[in-house]
Amino acid sequence: MLRSWVIITALLAVLWACSEEKKGIEKTLKEPQTEAELGELLFFDSLLSKNNQVSCASCHKPQYAFADNVAFSFGVDSTAGLRNTPSAMNLSGHSFFFHDGRAESLEQQASGPMENPIEMNMKVSDIVEKLNKHSQYSRFFRKIYGRPADKENLVKALAAYEETLLTSHTAFDDYMSDKDTTRFSESAKRGRIIFNEKAKCFDCHFGPDFTGDQFRNIGLFNGRDLNDSGRIAITHEPKDLGKFKVPGLRNVSVTGPYMHNGMFKTLREVIDYYDTPDKFVSHAQNRDTLLSKPLHLTEQDKTDLESFLKSLTDDRFLK
């Protein structure tokens, strides 16, 4: 009898706590000293979504290099998205965001998910209102920007945080800078040469983050079962049919599943695809001529390419 009372009281306490949280009793936040620290608080706060259900980090999970480990992440009311969540790391200095490049700055990008009905589903103006009613955030915004939260400083803070998400502590970077050449295996060394030459990866994945910010078509649109037409929906130019932003490849070993639609689970599958695209997708439309012939990679080549891709993983993600 006494035990059931204890259980009932405990349950009531939990219910009460939950309802207080809904009513907006605030948890104590770490006082931000910089714009980026304010952005970090916001990035991890579900206050930015309808009914406080999801935060940016619900989909861009830190342990997967700020990507997700499922093909399609869930937004508010458990609705699945239409595209795979890309990594939000190493985006500083780049010129296009989203798989179709529809945003041209991180600031412009940030309001996308907040207002997207299947992601966070809340008008930026309503989020701003929520922030200004919040005793701590309203103080933090005044402290950092000298004025209340508004659309402009909200996206600026988020972008400032994302600018800090850079990773260059990798076996590859150590090897290139002569800091430590022992961690970059023989297999990764061979893989690097295959990446640059035989497999032609470097023709599209180049620059410090392995993307030149171009849009290319690797054959994942056929107008049948693969229906996302990519860049053409933004530019309306026929040449852009089926093109997607070339993603950077840093930390790619922890950001699977891969591609805009998450259709490949592992790096090996991605490599198998590039080797013989026609075996995976028939009737591809407007595919890049770089992929018109099979690469004829050997099993060893594939293993080496995979070792190279894994060498781009930041130390913090190595188990």
Point out which residues bind ligand HEC (CB under 6 A).
Answer: 43, 48, 54, 56, 58-60, 73, 75, 81, 83, 85-86, 88, 91, 97-100, 106, 109-110, 113-114, 119-120, 158, 162, 199-201, 203-205, 216, 218, 220, 244, 246-247, 249, 252, 255, 258-260, 267, 270-271, 274, 288, 290, 305
Q: Which is nearer to ligand HEC, 41 or 199 (CB)?
A: 199
Question: In the complex, what is the shortest distance from the CB of residue 52 to ligand HEC, in angstroms, rounded to a whole number?
Answer: 12
Closest CA to 158 of 72, 251, 96, 91: 91
The encoded tokens of residue 80 equal 């699945």
Distances (CA, A) of 141 to 39, 42, 150, 204: 10, 11, 9, 41
Q: Which is nearer to ligand HEC, 144 or 158 (CB)?
A: 158
Question: In the complex, what is the shortest distance from the CB of residue 30 to ligand HEC, in angstroms, rounded to a whole number?
Answer: 19
Question: In the complex, what is the shortest distance from the CB of residue 117 to ligand HEC, in angstroms, rounded to a whole number?
Answer: 11
Q: Which is nearer to ligand HEC, 15 or 298 (CB)?
A: 298
Q: Which is nearer to ligand HEC, 99 or 144 (CB)?
A: 99
Q: How far apart are CA 295 and CA 245, in angstroms?
A: 22
Question: In the complex, what is the shortest distance from the CB of residue 33 to ligand HEC, in angstroms, rounded to a whole number?
Answer: 20
Instruction: Identify the DSSP state of 90.
Output: S
Q: Percentage helix, strand, coil, to 5, in the chain?
A: 50, 5, 50
Rounded to 5 degrees, φ, ψ at 80 are: -80, 145
Distances (CA, A) of 283 to 11, 218, 223: 58, 12, 8
Q: Which is nearer to ligand HEC, 73 or 313 (CB)?
A: 73
Question: In the complex, what is the shortest distance from the CB of residue 226 to ligand HEC, in angstroms, rounded to a whole number?
Answer: 9
Question: In the complex, what is the shortest distance from the CB of residue 121 to ligand HEC, in angstroms, rounded to a whole number?
Answer: 9
Q: Which is nearer to ligand HEC, 66 or 175 (CB)?
A: 66
Q: Which is nearer to ligand HEC, 188 or 270 (CB)?
A: 270
Q: Which amino acid type is present at position 1?
A: M
Question: In the complex, what is the shortest distance from the CB of residue 244 to ligand HEC, in angstroms, rounded to a whole number?
Answer: 4
Beta-bridge partner residues of 80: 74
Quickly list DSSP for 52-77: G---HHHHSBGGGTTB-SSSS-B-GG
Closest CA to 309 of 2, 135, 27, 65: 65
Question: In the complex, what is the shortest distance from the CB of residue 293 to ligand HEC, in angstroms, rounded to a whole number?
Answer: 12
Closest CA to 290 of 190, 187, 206, 188: 206
Q: Which is nearer to ligand HEC, 163 or 179 (CB)?
A: 163
Instruction: Identify the DSSP state of 289.
Output: G
**Residue position matching structure tokens 């910010």:** 213
Closest CA to 46 of 36, 38, 56: 56
E strand or H helix that includes residue 228: none
